[in-house]
Amino acid sequence: MNENEQVERYLDENRQRFEQELYELLRIPSISTDNRRAKDVRRAAKWLRDHLQGLGLQTELIETTGHPVVYAESAPVAGAPTLLVYGHYDVQPAEPLDEWLSPPFEPSVREGNVYARGATDDKGQMLTHINSAEAWLRAAGGLPVQLKFFLEGEEEIGSENAMRVLEQRAEQLGCDAVVVSDSSQLGPDRPAITYALRGIAYYELLLTGPARDLHSGVFGGAVTNPANALAHLLAAMVDADGRIQLPGFYDDVLELSAEERRRFAEIGFDEPAFMERIGVSGLSGEAGYTTLERRWARPTFDVNGLWGGYQGEGSKTVLPARAAAKLSFRLVPDQRPEQISRALRTFVAERALPGIDWELVEHNMAPAVLVPLESAFLSAAARSVEAVFGTPPVFIREGGSIPIVAAFKQGLQADTLLLGWGLDDDNAHSPNEKLSLRDFHRGIRASAYLWQQASLISRSKTSG
Ligand code: BES
Ligand code: ZN
């Protein structure tokens, strides 16, 4: 039996255990945004650290001012490249809880899918690379490439601390390419490799008016209402054609080429099915672009939260003292979050109304990423995916953001392979999140194959 066959056999024999281990990790409610869950987040980090240590890797739990980073590395392999695997063990909150068919932190298998918060985003996808490494270590006596694992607990809140660790340890984390599975296939049995992600600029805008809530009959019409002012501001942000009105917003936008638009059109995106899946009766967006172009390659503005004034039952004639919104822009290459922040401040300042103070708090900031399509690692990944899924991957872009990916390019000069094993209807961030167990195992296989394919890329071709 050659090494590949030994690895294959090991994977076959350990399917059940890999699933059980995934369920163990899914039982830990590692919700990064919720401080009351900080102990659970740490428990997930330690679970991973112990697991990687058990495989014989050098491990370290890297403390930060927030949640820890789990680091592990295998032995260097002379002449073969080093790959950095990135993943995140934190999850989004599970609310609304009453919409889950089974409890979010009690994994439940139905029709070949495991349902739990974090199943696809990102515990299941992340584990595929750990399991494939195990197979090589145990069945073949070692990995054909050096692997470094960089697993963080703050992706869902912007990765600020992980980025700091990356800066401080650029040398230790040095690699020839990064591998991330935290995205999706194009659809069932339509594997994909993602070559672009959108960036993000996320803010909270707070408007303050009178010193206290006022009677809207006595004072309304003369005193500026912060909720009215906020509504005006937000409405002014996008025109009737869906164009964002911040000064200079489109200056750095990399336009889609005719060739890329043609490739998007060839993908055969089923718009009615898409609408049905998300339960909408119509779609809207920037004029002149298709739905795929709008989601993958155009910048957007969204209000993510909005409050102010009376929210209770019935009516209350109040002129609220405050109103606020959480808002975000999804960015495309080559927009810069700092430029967006400056433009937003100018935009708000220019529309300031008498009697209103405003405060703008910055949350998540990350530029978009665009991965070059012509790279030996990308070809190796495509071959690995095809070998396992039986069909070559489609090259797609996606609309979500993985904040640290741009920093890998900046800080490590490494491009990232975005190998998504999920599906866009996996309900990431929503109730009833799931992952197909068949795709979990196919992901493990493709990953195992990737290590072997990547080992054939000589280091001299990649460095310098
Ligand atoms: N896995 C997603 C990112 C993603 C989603 C990539 C869909 C490709 C397709 C990730 O966990 C995520 O949700 N990221 C956040 C980042 C934000 C909090 C800064 C996002 O995109 O909202
Ligand atoms: Zn997520």
User: pLDDT tens digit string along 235-279?
Assistant: 999 999 999 999 999 999 999 999 999 999 999 999 999 999 889
Contact 166, 411 (CB under 8 A): yes
Instruction: Supply φ then ψ for residue 301, to 5 degrees.
Output: -130, 130
**Strand pairing category for 146-152 and 69-73:** antiparallel
Mean pLDDT of 289-308: 98
pLDDT band at residue 219 under the 50/70/90 scheme: very high
Looking at residue 345, its amino acid is R
> Can you tell me which atom of ligand 1 is nearest the CA of 157?
18
Residue 429 DSSP code: T
Q: Which of 31, 156, 184, 329 to mutate to test the pocket of ligand 1 (most atoms within 8 A of CB)?
A: 156
Quote the CA–CA distance of 164 and 180 in Å, as a whole number: 19
pLDDT of residue 460: 54
CA of 199 to the centre of ligand 1 (A): 9
pLDDT of residue 233: 98
Cβ count within 10 A of residue 437: 19
Mean pLDDT of 108-128: 98
Q: What is the mean pLDDT of the chain?
A: 97
pLDDT of residue 278: 87
Token reading at 35: 């401080």
Q: Which of 88, 92, 123, 182 to mutate to test the pocket of ligand 1 (most atoms within 8 A of CB)?
A: 182
Mean pLDDT of 44-66: 98
Q: Which ligand is nearest to the CA of 202?
A: 1
pLDDT at 398 over 80: yes
Contact 130, 149 (CB under 8 A): yes
pLDDT of residue 464: 37
pTM, 2 dp: 0.95
pLDDT of residue 299: 98
pLDDT at 1 over 70: yes
Q: Residue 262: in which H helix or E strand, if any?
A: helix 258-266
Compute and round to an integer the Cα radius of gyration of the chain: 24
Please state, for a pLDDT cut of 90, what percent of the chain lies above it.
97
Q: Which ligand is nearest to the CA of 155?
A: 1
User: pLDDT tens digit string along 175-192?
Assistant: 999 999 999 999 999 999
Token reading at 272: 């009615």
Q: Which ligand is nearest to the CA of 397?
A: 1
> Can you tell me which atom of ligand 1 is nearest the CA of 202?
19
pLDDT of residue 463: 45
Quote the CA–CA distance of 154 and 33 in Å, as a whole number: 8
Cα torsion angle, 427, 432, 436, 437, sign: positive
Protein residues placing their CB within 5 Å of the ion ligand 2: 121
Write out residues with Cβ below 6 Å of ligand 1. Answer: 121-122, 155-156, 158, 182-184, 197, 200, 364, 398, 400-403
Token reading at 16: 């059940």
Mean pLDDT of 223-232: 98
**Strand pairing category for 394-398 and 318-319:** unpaired
Contact 67, 42 (CB under 8 A): yes
- State the Cα angle at 410 between 407 and 414, rounded to 5°: 90
Instruction: Supply φ then ψ for residue 412, to 5 degrees.
Output: -115, 0
Residue nearest to atom 5 of ligand 1 (CA): 400
User: pLDDT tens digit string along 10-31?
Assistant: 999 999 999 999 999 999 999 9
Residue nearest to atom 18 of ligand 1 (CA): 156
pLDDT of residue 144: 98
pLDDT band at residue 143 under the 50/70/90 scheme: very high
Residue nearest to atom 4 of ligand 1 (CA): 400
User: pLDDT tens digit string along 144-184?
Assistant: 999 999 999 999 999 999 999 999 999 999 999 999 999 99
Cα torsion angle, 207, 208, 214, 220, sign: negative
Residue 284 burial by Cβ neighbours in a 10 Å radius (0-12, 13-18, 19+): exposed
- State the Cα angle at 410 between 408 and 412, rounded to 5°: 55
Hunting for tokens 């014989």 — which residue is that?
56
Quote the CA–CA distance of 250 and 174 in Å, as a whole number: 34
User: pLDDT tens digit string along 432-456?
Assistant: 999 999 999 999 999 999 999 999 9
